[in-house]
Amino acid sequence: MFKSEEMEINLGPQHPSTHGVLRVKLRLDGETVVKCTPVIGYLHRGLEKICENKTYFQGQVWTDRMDYVAAISNNLGWVEGVEKLFGIETPRRARYIRTMLTEMNRIASHLLWLATHALDIGAMTVFLYAFRERELLLDLFEAFCGARLTTTAFRIGGLREDLPPGFVKQARAFQAIFPERLEEYETLLSENRIWKKRTVGVARINAEDCIALGVTGPVLRAAGVPYDIRKAFPSAAYAEMDFEIPTRPEADTYARYLVRLAEMRQSHRIIQQCLDGLPEGPVMAKIPKILKSEVNEVYHAIEAPKGELGYYFVGEKGGVNPYRMHVRAPSFVNLQALPKMIEGRLLADVIAAIGTLDVVLGEIDR
Amino acid sequence: MSEPIEPQVPEGASESPVGPYVYDYAAAPQRQIVPPKTVPLPSLKTYEAEVIAQQAADEAKWKKMQADYEVAKAKAEAEGKDAPKPPVKPVPRKDDNDMKTPWPQAAKDPDLLHLQRLLGEQVEEIFEQAGELTCQVRKEALHEALRICREDADLKYEMLADQTGTHYPAAKEFAFSLVYHLTSISRRKRLRIRILVPEGFEPESACSLYPSANWMERETYDMLGIRFKDHPDMTRILCPEDWEAYPLRKEYPVVGLGQRDIDFREDRGGVLMRIAMQKAGQMGINLKQPTAD
């Protein structure tokens, strides 16, 4: 089994750079990784089982706890999945507000990724800069729904309430400062020699392997595949938005960094369009107080900051709970690519690879 | 901290005090398993049969109403009374909401028809529902169907987005449905391949075609207990290795099996007891245990 100079070490589950409770079993030959096995499940809460025993309205609250840095994206997937199951048509204004908040959440999630990823690699300052802007976004979420992290922002059929007074002004203030703040991060990192040494050519995975392993999101787009669910299967108000899918051909950690920065710019564009073209009207569809489903199954996927977030529902005749609920978590599937990325490379690259995959363990273990 | 109120014995209720306050774990609502009685498997055939049965039932009801009316009319005429009101055909109630239930529809999509042409007898059912394409194949033909979806030039479903299963304890011929959600990135399409498997059947693993199935099938095994043939590493993934039973089966209680039987919520130090006594005292109920003397 082992060569005499090989040894096996555990990275995690309490290592700060594993972003939660990820354990990676590594077999090393000196500094080189020979074999890598991710071990997950330390945060398993049985979310699918719980949601089967909650009503469609109650289950949404649990989705906040999956990818806790992008709770609004999780909410969007849940409410749209349930709306598809029941055939509910949502008012246009609600769809615009949903789009806007989801994009804000994408920026917040990418900022957290940038902060922690840079911190893992050794660039401490970016952390403070990125959290400064994330704070502004969390204030906006708090203004909208009273919570900063576990938002439960949307309701099945629309929104609970319209935008609060002053929200648009506050959002426009954020929009005004954000592009130059993004440039600030770029001056810190993009041409930084140490940053480039740690990221260029590190943790490569090509487009073919990405597709075979089901990898989605920025990792796939950094491998040159322009697959974005917002364009491919548009929901909410994405069909009416004008934005691009940033891609890079290099498929390394640096390319993913550039793709995520470009995605923040595109999100900024979408938010601007939502603010400018916000239609008037109601924000809630007419739906019964108790939703009773028919026999039906749907798979609804949205583009979460980490990739394709899919919800699979099976409805029972007259059931107020989903008969079966399953989450296709992007981090869960993306993490499968970790061995492919780092086997044969150096131990220090493992940290960069985990960071660049942008995994959230609450979503992997559910 | 308020002073604990001593339980007071109300008049006329001194005998037969109730036992100590103990939470009955076995009777807790979270522990109760209500096995599903129906098999909510979306299917065009079942839906059409249901619709026809419903129409027949409605027709029979309408005929009975008419017959009753004729009898009542004849009776009224014989007795010389006023004729009863003629019956009104019942119309379905209209709901005033923005919901439009997506019913299963016959397959029109070229992908489904193409797949049916290629697989022939192996296809059990094809239909569309809520804009999603479903193709149910025989359980032995799963690998064949996935291979065609991946390799056929007209289909080109490159990515396996999701794989999962559902437990149907009320069904007789099968116990689980397994679904494979395929995505075609180049053609922007999704397709669902479904098989129905009985307990103990080992479907073939999709890992050789779609490597992303590796962890998904492990999760399905972990949660539902379906083993896959030729899977590279058929072990549990989310639960610990020594976990007993499969959590997403319908006979598994929400609070878990066994783990919570450890009495960590048992009344250590008598806190629950004291609270119960206080509450009971305020309500005038005697909960005090009889002492030896």
Task: Test B101 with A296 for CB contact under 8 angstroms.
Answer: yes
Residue at token pair 């053609």? B187
Over range A81-108, report the average pLDDT: 92
pLDDT for B261: 45
Q: pLDDT digit string (tens) for A245-267?
A: 999 998 889 999 999 999 999 99
pLDDT for B196: 92
Distance between CA B220 and CA B202 in Å, rounded? Answer: 12
DSSP-based three-state secondary structure for B211: coil
Over range A308-327, report the average pLDDT: 90
Asked whether residue A277 carries a pLDDT value surpassing 70, the answer given is yes
pLDDT for B17: 47
Q: Classify burial at A249, counting beta carbons within 10 Å of its beta carbon; exposed 0-12, middle 13-18, buried 19 or more.
A: exposed
Q: Give chain A's domains with CATH numbers.
A: 6-365 (1.10.645.10)
Over range A309-314, report the average pLDDT: 93
pLDDT for B3: 62
A310 touches chain B (CB under 8 A): yes
pTM (2 decimals)? 0.84
Say which CATH architecture domain B105-224 belongs to: 2-Layer Sandwich (3.30)
Higher pLDDT: B275 or A352? It is: A352
Task: Test A296 with B42 for CB contact under 8 angstroms.
Answer: yes
Task: Test A324 with B212 for CB contact under 8 angstroms.
Answer: no
Mean pLDDT by 10 residues, chain B (293 residues): 58 50 60 82 87 90 88 85 79 78 87 88 88 90 90 88 91 91 91 92 90 92 90 88 84 69 52 70 65 57
Of A311, A355, A259, the residue nearest A74 (C-alpha):
A311
pLDDT for B16: 47
Of A76, A103, A93, A72, the residue nearest A268 (C-alpha):
A103
Centre a 10 Å sphere on the Cβ of residue B278 and count the other Cβ atoms it contains.
Answer: 17
Over range A320-341, report the average pLDDT: 91
Quick check: A320 and A300 in contact, CB under 8 A? no
Task: Test B99 with A314 for CB contact under 8 angstroms.
Answer: no
Gyration radius from chain B CA atoms: 31
A313 touches chain B (CB under 8 A): no
Chain B partners of A87 at a C-beta cutoff of 8 Å? 99-102, 130
Distance between CA A74 and CA A107 in Å, rounded? Answer: 15
Chain B partners of A286 at a C-beta cutoff of 8 Å? 96-98
